[in-house]
Structure 1
Amino acid sequence: MSADVPPKTTAAPRATDRPGDASPFALGLLLRRAHWRAATVISQALKPLGIELRHFAVLIVLVNEGPTVQRDLATATGTDKAGIMRVVDDLERKGLAVRKSVPGDRRVRAVEITPKGLELFDAAHVTAEPLAARLRAELGPGDPEKLTELLTRLAHPTDESGAEE
């Protein structure tokens, strides 16, 4: 009979998603909650400009990387193939991006930001600044910089050779 009873183990603290959570899930849960708050701020900044965070994510890639094929946009933004097509359709309809043929491959189209898209991208930064300042104001002196440094290390880990994983 005792063979059916699992052995007793020392259990880790259970996840609570509350301040003081000491579970192995605490960091991830805190990051998720912080992301929701930051995403709300970004969404508030983008709404008057007529775009959403998913559109802005694509514009970021286009500004940083230049013309990018849709497959790579999907990978860079964590979006599936159908989702990226809808976002690019929206951006084209708004005149913020255009699809262009890729020389040598008639099936592949690259997406490129337009001057209007770049203007909106810059306007989004101006609109977001007061909202971001309110978010940073909840932290102490030097904390926003320290938090940015720590999150950067988590988001962009390096292996022992210094190359990103």
Structure 2
Amino acid sequence: MAADVPHDTTVASRATDRPGDESPFALGLLLRRAHWRAAAVMSEALRPFGIELRHFAVLIVLVDQGPTMQRDLAVATGSDKAGIMRVVDDLEGKGLAVRKAVPGDRRARAVAITPEGLELFDAVHVAADRPAQRLVAELGPGEPELLKDLLTRFAHPEGDGS
């Protein structure tokens, strides 16, 4: 601890992700724990299809945006250049996506979902329905929708462009 920052001995709790935590870090810690739980459940749903969440994240972008430049996929999925190249390599190897030349730019490649990728995308959604229901099983009537609405507004505040 820095010498010029006084230590407050009246602080009753430290940052946790337990119910009732008033720490300024509590929200971030809870969101991280919720993400871990959701990722674990959804990863199980993806396993029979031979893909991981990082693969499915790219397929989501491709379905939503159509053919997308690799650098834009990296931004959209929170990946880095090397990571997105590995994911696209994996998807190409499985026949789920393909790199295409971009007219007017010999070096650039756009990634597009294949018909097989779209078929898998749809099948995953059907298979993920039951695990997704398990994720919100402890919530009351209307609360899953409320949670989704609150998280959407939190993740996409007005005017942030995303």
TM-score (norm 2): 0.92
The amino acid that maps onto 1:149 is: D
RMSD between aligned alpha carbons? Answer: 1.8
Aligned to 1:21, the other structure's residue is in SS state coil
Distance 1:9 1:111, change over 3 A: same
Which residue pairs with 2:18 in the alignment?
A: 18
Q: How many angstroms apart in 1 are the aligned matches of 2:52 and 2:67?
A: 20
Distance 1:6 1:64, change over 3 A: closer
Which residue pairs with 2:32 in the alignment?
A: 32
Q: How many angstroms apart in 1 are the aligned matches of 2:118 and 2:70?
A: 18
TM-score (norm 1): 0.90
Deviations 1:89-127 (A, max 9, x none): 000000000000000000000000000000000000011
Distance 1:141 1:81, change over 3 A: same
Structure 1's consecutive aligned runs of 4 or more residues displaced over 3 angstroms after TM superposition are 4-13
Which residue pairs with 2:144 in the alignment?
A: 144
Question: Which structure has the larger Rg over C-alpha atoms?
Answer: 1
Q: How many angstroms apart in 2 are the aligned matches of 1:94 and 1:124?
A: 15
Structure 1: gaps (5+ residues): none
Question: CA offset at residue 10 of structure 1?
Answer: 7.7
Distance 1:21 1:44, change over 3 A: same
Which residue pairs with 2:89 in the alignment?
A: 89
Identity across matched positions, percent: 74
Question: CA offset at residue 16 of structure 1?
Answer: 2.3
Aligned to 1:14, the other structure's residue is in SS state coil
